[in-house]
Amino acid sequence: MGDDSLNDAKEKMIKQHLIPRGIKNERVLAAFKKVPREEFVPPEIEAEAYQDRPLPIGEGQTISQPYIVAEMIQALEPTPGDKILEIGTGSGYAAAVLAEIVETVYGVERHQSLVDEAQTRLTRLNYDNVKLEVGDGTIGWAENAPYDGILVSAAAPEIPNSLVEQLVKGGYLVIPIGTKNIQQLYQIKKIEDDKITKKELGRVRFVPLLGEKGW
């Protein structure tokens, strides 16, 4: 597809699939307008980049549908000075969207091949405020904690305490919780070290979060 067609598809995605379904945060919408989603999918499916559905990216993983990415990022309530941890970086698309909004994004991904490909994309697109590592996302990235927000792009059987511990007070954890087949997306706010609040955002289906504190 040509640049004009891709831009038209991006505008259609935002107007038909994001705004009417409750994505109102202006920073989030502006970031979606800037990030070229086609750069984060395999070349052979570039024409499908702005369809509102998940797409395969290799290693049995997917890039989530645009609406879900937008909903999760909006639920983090991100601001320009924030430091965000993303678990399950995959193609790097959500990290790029976040990087348009916040100061620094740290990403953890289990698969070396996906980290290498994501880093190449992010570097090419000048997202130098994203730092990636290969690791067990269920235990977070304690070295750079605390975080203003943590986004988890894989489903856990329960809330990993290790991630809550790495949040600042008042910070948000957005994570799918449930079985391997169907989950509820939650916005979790850390009130105190031993107190959180939970808000249900809707039913979702993600790949399982693998690791010490996951499946």
Pairing label, strands 167-178, 183-192:
antiparallel
Report yes or no: 64 and 14 within 8 Å, Cβ to Cβ.
Answer: no
Q: How far is CA 19 from CA 37, 73, 83, 92, 187, in A?
A: 17, 14, 26, 23, 20
Strands lying side by side in the sheet with 195-204: 130-134, 104-109, 83-87, 147-152, 167-178, 183-192, 195-204
Cα separation, 143 vs 195, whole angstroms: 23
Residues annotated as catalytic are: 64
